[in-house]
Structure 1
């Protein structure tokens, strides 16, 4: 009975895997298909790279990818640094109103991003930061979610380590940099993965803040390109395939860290 149960689980996992992979395989297959030409002709597969040549000649896909990479990387680095400092201060530095300050950060999680869209746009406009990479980076350099995750992790670290460092004359900065950062790598990995993917996949704010194609990210550039080929399938699928390559490469090289980060966000280690 137990063996049958295991086989049922394996079959279900296989079916779910196929369900997730099938659209991706179909997208890649369409990218090699010439528009109006069937896949099979006279018993042979009709595969061509003409779609890739056309997409690369008509759309700055790699430039949009570079913009997304710059925005996501800078945001991730700054978020990890800023949120870790804020979480450390709330967790270990005792000052009047620290609990209320943490509650204020938690309230930020309850406010949808759409509610702050117009004030954020007006602020960026008044500062003259629209239509450049700064307008894409600055709004995302701090995250209430990151402060919450890191604060909960810092609370679980032994206080004896901090007390021992204080006896050796270490200040808050030395304790944060020499003790908390090395011990918090799982939390930083989880926050970094979440922040990078959120910045890479962000669509609404780039749509509002950027209209110049030079500063478009990949999530904004693809719909802009695909709108010119609404009646076709191969070219949009080719552009989507190219856009997916960086994320596939990141997953291949950092799959262990990604899985650990996802597992960490589900509960404390």
Structure 2
């Protein structure tokens, strides 16, 4: 390698590091600002940066939230809905992907492309028919209304099918020779092999369900059924016009999603990387 090429590589690496640090800063600054605002005493200024990072700080905003709102109930609702949605989505999408990848039946390709076409349909276009279905089923303002519409995930079917297509046919043939049925092959072979892809899909599904606002806002009308994204705006109008209390609630609501992402970020990268490997 010549000195000129080595110098170009060093410059490119330095530029990559600079852009990486800028991206990290752009991601961290709103989180830091949210947390600092949440521990700022009520009535203080949060618009002047020099005053924002100067004491005093207090945990009174968190105490106020915990004592004057149904924060634990809303957190349970969000966690319950996100967890059940994630488990059922993984089960349904993996079964659908396995069938589309390994079973031979008439119209298989057409069904697959119809599922992929679902990626192009925005949720806003389906709000009215979905809500009408919930009314007909008499499940408005229930957990079922929050969970069922989110189970159809075309992206999950696409990602898992891409991975299953790369599994050698010899594994399936050997399992059939040992007397294994389709469900056993799915459970004993394909699911363990797709663990990284399933983990990545599960994390995406959990975070998307945790942060979902539009559909829960329409599907429930009882305060006890609110999820955190629906409940947070009520603090701005019902409790205070200041930013400290809403930011305290936002911090509490963001902690689980941030923890999940940090703990499982390796699975996300590995799952996406392995999806296209055959």
Query: Does TM, normalized by the shorter one, top 0.5?
Result: yes
Distance, in Å, in 1 between the alignment partners of 2:119 and 2:178 is 38
**In structure 2, distance between residues paired with 1:54 and 1:246:** 20
Task: Name the counterpart of 2:13.
Answer: 6
CA offsets per residue over residues 197-249 of structure 1, 9 Å max, x none? 11111111001111111111111111122223563121111111111121222
Q: Does 1:173 align with 2:180?
A: no
With over 3 angstroms needed to count, the CA separation of the structure-2 counterparts of 1:45 and 1:67, relative to structure 1, is same
Q: Deviations over 1:17-55 (max 9, x none)?
A: 2222112111111111112246999xx721111111111
Any idea what SS the aligned residue of 2:264 has?
A: helix
Q: Name the SS for the 1:95 alignment partner.
A: coil
1:153-175 superposed Cα distances (whole Å, 9 cap, x missing partner) = 11111001111111112111111
1:23-172 alignment, distance < 5 Å:
23-37=30-44, 45-172=55-182
Cα distance, 1:120 vs. partner? 0.7
Alignment CA distance shift 1:197-1:37 (3 Å) = closer
Partners of 2:197 and 2:270 within 8 A in 1: no
Q: Cα distance 1:234–1:142, how it changes in 2: closer, same or farther (>3 A)?
A: same
Structure 1 segments, 4+ long, off by >4 Å, are 38-41, 262-265
Please provide the CA RMSD for this pair. Answer: 2.1
Deviation, 1:5, is 4.0
- Number of aligned positions between the proteins: 266
TM-score (norm 2): 0.88
The 8 Å contact of residues 76 and 195 in structure 1, kept in 2 or not, is answered as: yes
Say if 2:37 and 2:243, in contact at 8 Å, map to a contact too: yes
Q: Answer yes or no: is 1:222 the counterpart of 2:232.
A: yes
Unaligned runs of 5+ in 1: none
Residue number among 233, 252, 255 corresponding to 1:245 in the alignment: 255
The answer (yes or no) to whether the contact 2:203–2:264 under 8 Å persists in 1 is: no
8 Å CA contact retained: 2:100, 2:108: yes
Task: Give the conservation status (yes or no) of the 8 Å contact 1:30–1:237.
Answer: yes
Match of 2:26 in 1: 19
CA shift in 2, pair 1:38/1:102, >3 Å: closer
Change (3 A) 1:15 1:89: closer
Whether the aligned pair in 2 keeps the contact of 1:90 and 1:151 (CA below 8 Å) is: yes
Q: TM-score, normalised by structure 1?
A: 0.91
Which piece of structure 1 moves more, 153-162 or 254-263? 254-263
Over 3 Å counting, the alpha-carbon distance change for 1:166 and 1:263 in structure 2 is closer
Change (3 A) 1:121 1:176: same
